[in-house]
Structure 1
Amino acid sequence: MSKNVTIVRSYFTAVSKGDFDTVGALLSDDVVWHQPGKGIQSGTYSGKAELFAHLGNFAKWSNGTFAIDHVDYLADNGELVTAAIHFKAEKNGQSLAMKGVDLLRIEGDVIKEVWLFSERIEEEDAFWNSASAS
């Protein structure tokens, strides 16, 4: 397993355990996060503070139920690592569950940039827009 895959595996393990100290240590201070779609959650987030505020919204809007519940595989191509994932969340009788792909760029042994891709982005947008209004 490559060093970059090991870094990304450590990141997903820390996320699944809620170990945000480790997550923070694995992210570059000037990390750039590209969240897809046209919903309340969508946009580009720069730096750890902005990113952690963004990720905190997922927890808030889903009453703490948002989770990446499965990582199907990780594969690398140089500084890029792709993760095939499944994520889920619930809020006020609504549920969201779908596959996604996360593409992470590693630089200097930390995650420097992340692009997310969702299986059904319109459905995800609708869920977060509804959840944030609750």
Structure 2
Amino acid sequence: MSKNVTIVQSYFNAVAKGDFDTVGSLFADDVIWHQPGNGVQSGTYNGKAELFAHLGNFMKWSDGTFAIDEIEYTTDNGNLVAASIHFKAEKGDKKLSMKGIDLLRIEDDKIKEVWLFSERIEDEDDFWNSVANT
């Protein structure tokens, strides 16, 4: 297993455990996060402060239920690591459950840039838009 895949797997393991000190240590200070879609969650987030506020919204909006509950595989191509994942969240009678691809660029042993791809981005937008202000 490559060093870059190990870094990404460490990130997913820390997220699953809620170990955000470790998560923070794996990101570059000037990390760039590209969240797809046209919803309340969508956009580009620059730096750890913006990113952690963004990720915190997922937990707040979903009453703490947001989770990456499966990582089908991770693979790398140089400094890029792709992860095939499944994620879920719910709030009240609203449920989100879909596959995605996370593409992470590693630089100097840190996660420097992340692009997310959702299986059905319109459904994801609808979910976050409907729960964000409830």
Band of TM-score, shorter chain: over 0.9
Match of 1:108 in 2: 108
What whole-Å deviation, never above 9, does each CA across 1:71-121 have from its counterpart, x for those lacking one?
000000000000000000001211000000000000000000000000000
Q: C-alpha displacement at 1:50, in angstroms?
A: 0.3
Residue in 1 that maps onto 2:44: 44
CA distance in 2, matches of 1:96, 1:21: 27
> Which ranges of structure 1 fall in alignment gaps of 5 or more residues?
none
Give the match for residue 130 of structure 1: 130
Summarize the alignment of residues 11-90 of structure 1 with structure 2, pairs less than 5 Å apart. 11-90=11-90
User: Alignment length, in residue pairs?
Assistant: 134
Report the TM-score when normalising by structure 1.
Answer: 0.99
Q: Find the residue that maps to 1:133 and give its secondary structure.
A: coil
Identical columns (%)? 75
1:15-63 CA-to-partner distances (Å, cap 9, x unmatched) read: 0000000000000000000000000000000000000000000000000
Q: Which runs of 5 or more residues in structure 2 are unaligned?
A: none
Amino acid at match of 1:22: T
Q: In the alignment, residue 131 of structure 2 is paired with which amino acid?
A: A
Q: TM-score, normalised by structure 2?
A: 0.99
List 4+ stretches of structure 1 deviating above 3 A.
Answer: none
Return the alpha-carbon distance in structure 1 between the equivalents of residues 104 and 18 of structure 2.
Answer: 19
Q: CA RMSD in A?
A: 0.3
Question: What is the DSSP-based 3-state SS (H/G/I as helix, E as strand, rest coil) of the residue aligned with 1:111?
Answer: strand
